[in-house]
Chains A and B, each alone.
Chain A
Amino acid sequence: MTEASLISVRGVTMRFGGLTAVKDVSVEVPRGAITAVIGPNGAGKTTLFNAITGVYEPTEGSVLVSGRDPRRQLTPSVVAGTVLTGIATALFLAALVRIEAHWTAAVLDLHEYQKPFPWGKSAGAFLSSLFGGGLAGTVLPLVVGFALGVAGRLVIWSRTRRTPDVVAGSGVARTFQNIRLFPELSLVENVTVGMDRRLRTGFLPALLALPSALAERGSARAEALKLLEFVGLADKSEEAAGNLPYGHQRRLEIARALASRPDVILLDEPAAGMNPTETVDLMRLIRAIRDQGTTVVLIEHHMRVVMGISDRIHVLQYGEKIAEGTPAEIRSNPRCIEAYLGKEELG
């Protein structure tokens, strides 16, 4: 089971203070299929998505992507970076606290008398001044600086181990229930931002507009236009995303998420606010995404969409998973009917 699962949510509990939004939920998302998560409002579906994508850190349980925990590990390069930061901070602090003394020794004392300027001697004078300050002048700033640098670096590392950018980097893309586009950017730019994980242009090539940067910009743009065509928005590519009608914004979000060529795409209520025609188009689009080989997980209230395209459905109620199965199984499951329609009053 685990082998074929792209995402496996294992016993995830999400607590906010006294409120338990998700309680001990396990979901296996098989590769290459469409998995739906349904349930009444407030059942914890979006919270589950947030826990998967790193917006929240699960209170309990774990989320594996392709069998691995998408989390920054304590690799040798992290350790080396931390130590280097510590040393750099230590030297910087030691140089700073007695900078006038260092300057006097290395520049002023030599400069008044000597021409040409003795650079080697100056460097030597600087070093002996830097390390010759005794306990208070050298040792203390070095120790404090090292501790500050190491502690700061470690705190940042520990707090950003499983942020959404780390999870997204491992091939998980998503859309949002309350659409979160970049409203002032054009459609093409929105999609290109989604592509960022695959782009390589660094600061200097970008600053100088080197041929490599221009080539990448051109190919990224062409690819973004192709994706806009895939979701049917190619004719509006230069408009501001914020000016699009609601249904189109949802499609654009999907295009932006697809741009990173994710292994799995999480769609949070993609059909919300769409009219029946748009909904049919959307179902076709989601199937096309799956047929391309991208795994799909979706949260949806439109039963027509869910029952029409899902390979497997998970039902949440009050934060707990109450059922799992194929559309046919779910449709006839008494607990699911009860969750949606209420219990039949007898007598």
Chain B
Amino acid sequence: MARSARFSVFSRGQLAVLALLAATPLLDLAFPSLQLSAPMRTVIVYAIVALGLNIVVGWTGLLNLGMAAFMAIGAYAFGILTSEIYPFQVGFWWGILLAALIGAFAGWLLGAPTLRLRGDYLAIVTLGFGEIVQDGLKNLPAITKGTEGINPLPAPTLLMTELSGETPARWFFVYLAILAAVIFLCRNLEFSRLGRQWFAVREDELAARCMAIEPDKAKLKAFATGAALAAMAGGLYASLLSSTGEPSTYDFQVSILALCIVIVGGIGSITGVLVGAIVMVGLNNVLLPLATQSLQRAGIGSTGNVLSSPDNYKYLLFGLALVLMMRFRPDGLVHSRKAVRR
């Protein structure tokens, strides 16, 4: 169906992807050795980052190379707000919510003075911001514990009981529910007045201005919303690790991975971004480690030989995936607005 003709909570494609994700714990039941639920939580975390980036890059047309910085801000905000070493201890759910709000504030702070820059210049600012945040976190040990990271951090609570690593399926479903909520919110924005402003600014900024739209305001909202989602994902990631990790966990490669997810999946399409996250992060965090494990079990991959470990080929595969996508499907695996391009 064409965009905006009718409105439902989820599109068919989004429902299909959510159903697919919901089936992974079943796989665990069938093949207990796989243990997919645990690494699939990471897929969901990156899907949320990429949904945030999709608002900025896909819908508003701004290149943001610093999503990892907002993820780091979210992770550390979650860490500081929930860790036992600090007095706040707000718990998982408030921690996630506040991390998202703090992320939005950070995005707004970065965006307000810089969003008037055009194209590549904005990309450079976001790139620099990513490095500054990493260095800042590293050099504020009194607050962030430097390279140790803040830990331990709480797992999600469900019906007053805290989940643990022993029940990865439940934990996975909590994250999946959060992802579903995020998709719902993104979809609301996509079809709203604000979504239209974003698309208009992306397609033709001058024409949008002549329709009395203020591009600066629309861009700032997109930037802050994207940052909020990245920060929320950062909080979920920290909860999953039970630690904020060290600041370099959120380096440039994370920002690039988020961008790859959006581009490979289908820029501008929520379903596409979800598929992209499953493909890219699934490859990175599920398939490659699994392949390495099984090779080792079969006695082929000796630990000494770097070439025989599939894990070491991941950047080669990412690069290859990008090149192939650009050559054969520049719009991504899932086209945005199929109906419109018909």
Which A residues have a C-beta under 8 Å from some C-beta of B?
53, 55, 92, 99-100, 103-104, 107-108, 110-111, 117, 122, 152, 156, 160, 163-165, 168-169, 173-174, 176, 180-186, 188-189, 192-194, 196-197, 199, 201, 203, 206-209, 213-214, 216-217, 220-221, 238-240, 256, 260
Contacts and interface: CB of A to CB of B under 8 A. Distances in A.
A206 B143 contact: no
A238 B212 contact: no
Given A189-B3, A216-B193, A183 B188 contact: no
Contacts of A194: 211
Contacts of B209: 163-165, 168
Contacts of A104: 142
Nearest to A188: B4
Contacts of A239: 340
A320 to B, nearest CB: 26
Report, as a range, how many residues of chain B touch the other chain.
35 or more
A193 B86 contact: no
A185 B203 contact: yes
Given A168-B210, A185-B199, A201 B192 contact: yes
A162 B5 CA distance: 36
Contacts of A176: 207
Contacts of A164: 206, 209-210
Interface of B: 2-5, 7, 85-87, 109, 113, 116, 140, 142-143, 185, 188-189, 191-197, 199-200, 203-204, 206-216, 221, 337, 339-342
Contacts of B212: 165, 168-169, 196-197, 260
Contacts, number: 137
B96 to A, nearest CB: 16
A245 B209 CA distance: 25
Nearest to B2: A238
A176 B209 CA distance: 13
A180 B194 contact: no
B204 A182 contact: yes
A100 B341 contact: no
Contact of A260 (B86, B140, B211, B341): B211
Contact of B142 (A108, A184, A186): A108
Nearest to B221: A203
B87 A107 contact: yes
Q: Which 3 A-B pairs have the closest CB atoms?
A: A206-B192, A117-B87, A168-B212
